[in-house]
Amino acid sequence: MPGIGFLEPNKRKRRGRRRAVANDTIEQKPFKQPLHRFPAVEFATVDEVEAIHSASLKLLEQTGIKVLWQPAIDIMVEAGASVTDDSMVTFAPELIMQFVGKAPAEFTMHARNPLHSLKIGADAMSFCMMGSAPNSSCMDQGRRSGNTEDFQNFLKLAQMHNILHMTGGYPVEPVDIHASVRHLHCVADLATLTDKAFSIYSLGTVRNQDAIEIVRLARGISSEQLENECSVWTVINTNSPLQLDIPMLQGIYEMALSGQLSIITPFTLAGAMAPVTVSGALVLQNAEALAGIAFSQMVKAGAPVMYGGFTSNVDMKSGSPAFGTPEYMRAQIVGGQLARRYSIPYRTSNVCAANTVDAQAAYESVFSLWGAVHSGMHLLKHGAGWMEGGLCCSYEKVILDIDLLQMIDEFLSPLDVSDAALGLDAIAEVGPGGHFFGTAHTQDRYKDAFYSPILSDWRNYESWHEAGRSEAMKKANTIWKNRLRQYEQPSMDPACSEAVQDFVARRVSEGGVATDF
């Protein structure tokens, strides 16, 4: 057909702005944060949000929360809280709201590469790699325990893809490194194999201090500058129900004191560690989050902090966590409403319960992402790779999730309503009953008119069958391996690199952190 040779099957290549080329290259947009283009969904009414808020404050006032670290109790009591003999700390509603009100509504997360620094809050979103899996998997080697090679590979994939704005802690736990020094090697890798912002684990005071120092050395800045420039973050999981344990409290303390971000995230599974009703689970989530947020501000007013939501349900037949469910989406969205109630940035996650990269993995992740975007979230943890309810990070799932995240980014891109885009001349040129394939309007734009997915195959059945009946998971397997071969370590000031390596070597020689094994 004249004028539409680009559609001939033997020549056609769908070449979008983020397209897969020869199965080994993913063309991407430049690094940037997606922006919310529409108001967050208000699933609960104002009165319903206030009911959850009031019940949370009542819980903190009448029942309280068990605080297991005496220095934290002392800080809370000095601020006006009360404590019983069994370490249950109670808070008057006005005390909680006084300190929660000191938290910043937005702030900057400073990356080693300033081009990768991020706005946290307002209309900006950030997507992260998966964190904290004990296992990894791929089609070639199957499922195995976390190890250094997989840990580093996932960091490289996070660095290479612009849609992943931060790493999310250890994508997989490298258990081949002894726990006494693991944090030193891992944080050094986070600081050198990537130049994006990242997360550390709060597993005791010394580990926090070591990690914060590595961040400072990697950026080549003073302690005073670091204190004024949030450069690293940690997730604080309350020990639901109603308990803050020692490492988490120490983490909040060290991070706040250093001007770094704590994301207070109760792990409230309805029916297990929280009431079986979504509203009841949200009351518990909110109470625990408010207690942790308030404590961070008691340590240092204005310290960066986020409200983390991780309420979902369990399979009542097995007790296993369920994700990407209607209950999870509902909790995500109402969690966002609560965070906005307190003017605090909100974190949620891209999660699924599937054990293999199949339709279940895809649709549970899509539902999780649907709830996340509509919740008004600011930070998406576990954005790429999550499988098995968090027990495994999958190479193929990383590629699938990157594709999904890029689709979200494209969906949220501004709509072009320029005179040229409106196409009145093209419509008039084609007239009734015609087609637009051969028009100049189409010819000038077809190469990048639409998002071209990494994994989806848009060919008809006959073409797909003749080409070998490709499957998405096999294609993802090919892509991640080729992507790793293309990895280049980001540049780093040699003096900063040497300072990091010297610090790690010294702390390793000192034994790191004492363990009982």
Position 1 scores a pLDDT of: 33
The answer to whether residue 160 is domain-embedded is yes
Instruction: Please check whether residue 327 lies inside any domain of the structure.
Output: yes
Report if residue 350 sits inside a domain.
Answer: yes
User: Which stretches of 393-493 are DSSP H helices?
Assistant: 395-411, 419-422, 424-430, 440-443, 461-466, 472-485
pLDDT attached to residue 27: 75
- Pairing verdict, β 135-138 and 142-145: antiparallel
- Residue 79 belongs to some domain of the structure: no
* Predicted confidence (pLDDT) at residue 25 exceeds the cutoff of 70: no
Residue 25 lies in a domain: no
Once rounded to an integer, what is the mean pLDDT over residues 43-64? 99
CATH of the domain at 281: 3.20.20.480
DSSP structure class, residue 203 = S
Residue range 42-66: average pLDDT?
99
Average pLDDT of span 257-280: 98
Assess if residue 174 is contained within a domain. yes
Domain hosting 125: range is 100-413+499-508
In the prediction, which pLDDT does 270 show? Answer: 97
* 265 pLDDT higher than 50: yes
Q: How many domains does the chain have?
A: 1
Distances in Å between the Cα of 12 and the Cα atoms of 9, 120, 136 are: 5, 41, 37
Position 392 in a domain = yes
- Give the closest residue to 281 by CA, choosing from 318, 249, 325, 247: 325
Q: H or E element: which one contains 347?
A: strand 346-349
Give one DSSP letter per residue of 24-85, joined into a string.
Answer: TEE--PPS---B--SPPP--S-HHHHHHHHHHHHHHHHHT-EEE--HHHHHHHHHHT-EE-T
Mean pLDDT of 7-14: 35
In a domain, 7, yes or no: no
**Residue 453 pLDDT more than 60?**
yes
